[in-house]
Amino acid sequence: MRLAATAAFTLAMTLLSQPSAARTICTVLARPDTGAALFAEGDCDRRATPASTFKVALAVMAYDAGILTDARSPAWPYRAGYVDWGGAAWRQTTDPAAWMKHSVVWYSQQIALRMGADELVRYGRALSYGNADFSGDRGQDNGLERSWIASSLEISPNEQVAFLSRLVSRTLPVSAEAMDKAASIVEQRALPDGWMLHGKTGGAYPRRADGSFDRSRGWGWYVGWAERDGRRVVFARLDQDETARRGSPGLRTRDAFIADWPRLFRSID
């Protein structure tokens, strides 16, 4: 485990040393007990699509509403017609743990359909999750399918850490059980310096006026919290590509954040 973490950390450091084709919009770290920023760099009030980082909030909502019950239930089968551009991991029966691990979009869509637009809005406002706009693309009636993917729902890095602070401190207006279960399925990554990151990536491409996606301006998110020796720090990083690149903007943002972690930690230590 430690060898794998060290290798991943070394790779991330190598990637950071290479010329970047993305710029960081914001990096912010905060105390979960108060939400007060410990470090902020960039335009941290700038809103963007949450993309797959919304899964953390959606998990809180779905556990509280009783749509999800634990890490393995419900397990829903993949059906023809579901979005499957995520590859083989999306074309299989999926439970909450696999949903979060593989960032399965159709599972999010099935949760949203079961919850309904009114409940999504109610929870979004109660959680103060960005603009809580689940209407979707104008005139398309697709809010339950893609409002969180380069569409109507937007959130800033500061709003991300405010939400995460309340999740980590267990002060969201939902059941404690819902918060515990949602937090438990967020990916964990051990760093060589003893910190454990709990984080979710997200990536999406802005819409042009003609409805096409601008693949050269991809948004990349990495949000979550870090723990070591009883200390917790919540974080959010938002990057945006400046040229078209292969692979996920969210994964690149995660790797860049991990590579930058020693500097960030020194700034708050």
Instruction: Please report where in the chains the tokens 């970047």 appear, as a residue.
Output: 20
Phi and psi at 248, nearest 5°, equal: -85, 130
- Nearest-10 crossing angle of helices 157-168, 176-184: 110
Tally of CB atoms within 10 A around 83:
14
CA atoms of 59 and 181, how far apart (whole Å): 8
3-state secondary structure of 207: strand
216 catalytic? Reply is no
8 A C-beta contact, residue 238 and residue 219: yes
Catalytic residue among 52, 103, 151, 156: 52
**Range 118-145 burial, b when 16+ CB lie within 10 A, else e:** ebbbebbeebebbebbbbbbeeeeebbb
| Closest residue by Cα to residue 237 from 84, 79, 23 | 23
DSSP annotation of 206 reads P
Residue positions annotated with a catalytic role: 52
